[in-house]
Amino acid sequence: MGNREVPAAEMNDLPVALAELPVAEWAAAIDVRHSARTYTGDPVDATSIDGLVEFCAQLPGKEVARVVVAPVAPAAVFTGMVGGYGKVLDAPSALIMIGDEAAFAVEESVGYLGEAAILEATARDLGTCWVAGFFDRRIAAELVSLAPGERIFAISPIGHAKPRPRSSERMLKRIVGAHKRKPIEEVAPGFDAGIWPDWAAEGVRLAVIAPSAVNRQPWRFELEPGTADSVTVSIVEKGAEGRVPRRLDCGIAMLHFQVGSRVLGARGTWEILPSPQVARFRATTTA
């Protein structure tokens, strides 16, 4: 990603930011969530589908990013890699993460809102898995009605995950080290629980366990020098960017950060920053 133009100050905020969050439910969902690619094939009950449809309908910033529930997901929409590795099997339904390619902060917005839908589904005991690389775009596009300029950035299965993934999924998880996370000191250089405010420390703890494409965790969190109320998120540019923008991963981690900081009483706003920075969280009230 090159440097991006940042519009006038009052327009810099994350366009899809959520002022209110179901904090306890999502903090619990963050703890138990992991990617599931092997499902039972049983349909998702109508109450959960309707609840998710309603949830997605009230999300803000639809002109930038939105999530659509596909109650019936054709099996062929999940392609997997060569040999079927990473293929999602027997998922009855899906979430479709859409963004307007030309919109300001579209990548971080898709990540942030998409993860909101993932956590909401997780809180309803449904399995999920961000899939940005290996899905059939033509089939996915038949499940939604796209406005001019909109693109599908990713999809996720939703359904009842089998308790034990099949062996090819277990292999994939081993290859990407799906359960491994960078230590907090690497994600937040200079992290000191004695110096960082509790809300910021808890925010980073939940950001550390966010999902990212091939588990690359391309984010860094810094307490802004000389302040006790601002934390910036930046991109770590290691390796090739690949097909999935790192700013999308960062949007996911930003939502996790915000949930963690709210657990410990902070509310705040997200201001989008030019690359390699991504955004600044400024706490407006703390407990």
- Give dist(CA 79, CA 93) in Å, integer: 15
Catalog residues that contact ligand FMN under the rule CB under 6 A. Answer: 34-35, 37, 86, 129-134, 154, 176, 178, 211-215, 244, 248-249, 252
Looking at the chain, list the stretches that DSSP marks H as alpha helix, in order from N- to C-terminal side: 23-32, 46-57, 106-123, 137-141, 167-176, 184-187, 198-208, 246-263
Measured from the CB of residue 93, what is the shortest distance to ligand FMN in angstroms? 17
Q: Which CB atom, from 85 or from 265, has the smaller least distance to ligand FMN?
A: 85
Tokens at residue 244, please? 């999935």
Length of the chain: 287
Between CA 87 and CA 82 the distance in angstroms is: 9
3-class SS of residue 105: coil
Q: How many helices (H) and strands (E) does the chain have?
A: 8, 7
The nearest distance, CB 110 to ligand FMN, in angstroms, is 9
Question: For ligand FMN, which is the closer residue by CB, 129 or 263?
Answer: 129
Task: Find the shortest distance in angstroms from Cβ 211 to ligand FMN.
Answer: 3
Instruction: Work out how close the CB of 7 gets to ligand FMN at its nearest, in angstroms, rounded to a whole number.
Output: 25
Task: Please identify, using beta-carbon distances, which residue of 246 and 268 lies nearer to ligand FMN.
Answer: 246
CA distance 220 to 20: 25
* Least distance (Å) between residue 283 CB and ligand FMN: 26
Distance from C-alpha of 150 to C-alpha of 64, rounded to nearest angstrom = 9
Between 6 and 214, whose beta carbon lies closer to ligand FMN? 214
What sign does the dihedral 153-155-156-158 (CA atoms) show? positive
Q: Which is nearer to ligand FMN, 256 or 262 (CB)?
A: 256
**Tokens standing for 110?**
């898709």
Give the chain's largest Cα–Cα span. 54
**Residue with Cβ nearer ligand FMN (35 or 109):** 35
Query: Which residue lies nearer to ligand FMN by CB, 176 or 264?
Result: 176
For ligand FMN, the closer of residues 64 and 154 by Cβ is 154
Provide the minimum distance between the beta carbon of 199 and ligand FMN in the complex, in angstroms, as a whole number: 24
The least CB distance from residue 174 to ligand FMN, in Å, is 10
Nearest approach in angstroms of CB 37 to ligand FMN is 6
What is the radius of gyration, based on Cα positions, of the chain? 18
Cα distances (Å, whole numbers) of residue 200 to 20, 231, 248, 267 = 18, 7, 21, 11
Here the tokens at position 174 are: 């081993």
